[in-house]
Amino acid sequence: AAKALGRNSYSFFEPAMDERLQSRRRTETDLASALEDGEFELFYQPFVNVIQQTISGFEALIRWRHPQRGQISPAEFIPIAEEVGQIAPIGLWVLETACRQAMHWPSPLSVSVNLSPVQFREATLFADVRRILKETGLPPGRLQLEITESVLLHDTESVLAVLRGFRKLGIRISMDDFGTGYSSLGYLSRFPFDKVKIDQSFVRDLAKRENLAVVRAVIGLSKAMGIGVIAEGVETAEQRDLLLAESCDEMQGYYFSKPRPVTEVAAFLEAFNAAADMPRRRAAADL
């Protein structure tokens, strides 16, 4: 009876567990060679100033084209890369590639790169960033780094020293996914961030009173502190209008553009600028 029970109680979830574990192991092994096999690629998503109808820059978002499994989301493999010690080389590849590719964009368009908290454990992070800027020739003012508040949870003094070093070089620092962590507001006073990115979870349902209240508070506080604000995950005209009503002029999201391959950046800029020029030209013709 025990045997039968055992078989019944295990058999139906064990294969699923096994599959998940195997898939995870496979991701770990494959990650080890993905970099040298050239399986990573950067996609770019624009930052749009809705009032000025301008684009200030693009965020670099990594993509993994796995030869058998197709595209794997960074949400899936970045945490694993962090655990197995692969994030440092991958992160440097992202920085180097983003800076090199941004050199082809019209100045002063900037590129924004996500940094993992784990990268701050590398004693060479600051020197690596400075070297990559030098080697690629990208002016530091055209590089932004995005960190989440979890970066500030541990070894805060050494982290702050690195961040201050970046600032001194002229690199701008954004706080990503703002509002999702533990004590977001406190962190804003600990380091002079250039920009706060309001997390898409608040933008998704702005009709909810609580979400609108958070967004309003973040915008108010940031403005009072002289910090820029950008809303992430804007998908609809309605969300755009609600954010504009709260004086949030800068936005990012599928409504404006999905992340796209680097080969599409130039054409996107051209189309965007042409569309933005149209009402201006019309207005000029009316004069």
Interface residues with ligand C2E (CB under 6 A) are 45, 60-62, 73-75, 78, 91, 94, 114-116, 146, 176-177, 200, 232-235, 253-254, 259
Provide the 8-state DSSP code for 60: E
Site for Mg ion contains 177 (CB under 5 A): yes
Please tell me whether residue 250 binds Mg ion under the rule CB under 5 A. Answer: no
Two structure tokens written together for 281 = 């030209």
Helix, strand, coil share (%) of the chain residues, nearest 5 = 55, 20, 25
CB-nearer residue toward ligand C2E: 5 or 237: 237
Among 155, 225, 160, CA closest to 188: 225
- CA–CA gap between residue 179 and residue 176 (Å, rounded): 9
User: Mapping DSSP to helix (H, G, I), strand (E, B) and coil, where does residue 54 land?
Assistant: strand
Q: Which does 10 bind (CB under 5 to 8 A by kind): Mg ion, ligand C2E, none?
A: none
**Shortest distance, CB of residue 94 to ligand C2E, whole angstroms?**
4
96 binds Mg ion (CB under 5 A): no
Candidate segments 18-26, 102-110, 225-233, 264-272, binder of Mg ion by CB under 5 A: 225-233
Smallest separation, CB 216 to Mg ion (Å):
19
The whole-angstrom separation of Cα 8 and Cα 11 is 6
Nearer to ligand C2E, 61 or 188 (CB): 61
Residues touching Mg ion, count (CB under 5 A): 5
Nearer Cβ to Mg ion (150/273): 150
| Least distance to ligand C2E, CB of residue 254, Å | 4
**At closest approach, how far in Å is the CB of 100 from Mg ion?**
19
Six-digit token pair at 101?
């590719």
| Burial grade of 121 (CB within 10 A; 0-12, 13-18, 19 or more) | middle
Rounded distance between C-alpha atoms, residue 172 and residue 145, angstroms: 6
C-alpha span between 90 and 126 (Å, rounded): 16
**Would you count residue 149 as binding Mg ion (CB under 5 A)?**
no
- Kindly tell me which of 78 and 99 has the beta carbon lying closer to ligand C2E: 78
- CA-based angle 179:181:184, to the nearest 5? 60
Classified as helix, coil or strand, 17 is helix
| Residue 75 binding target from Mg ion, ligand C2E, none, CB below 5 to 8 Å by type | ligand C2E
CA dist 236 and 253 (Å) reads 9
Distance separating alpha carbons of residues 123 and 88, to the nearest angstrom: 11
Picked from Mg ion, ligand C2E, none, the partner binding residue 188 (CB below 5 to 8 A depending on kind) is: none
Neighbours of 263 (CB within 10 A): 8
Whichever of 62 and 92 has its CB closer to Mg ion, that residue is 62
Nearer to ligand C2E, 116 or 222 (CB): 116
Shortest Å distance, C-beta 146 to Mg ion: 4
Q: Give me the least distance between CB of 103 and ligand C2E, in Å please.
A: 18
Residues that bind Mg ion (CB under 5 A): 114, 146, 176-177, 232
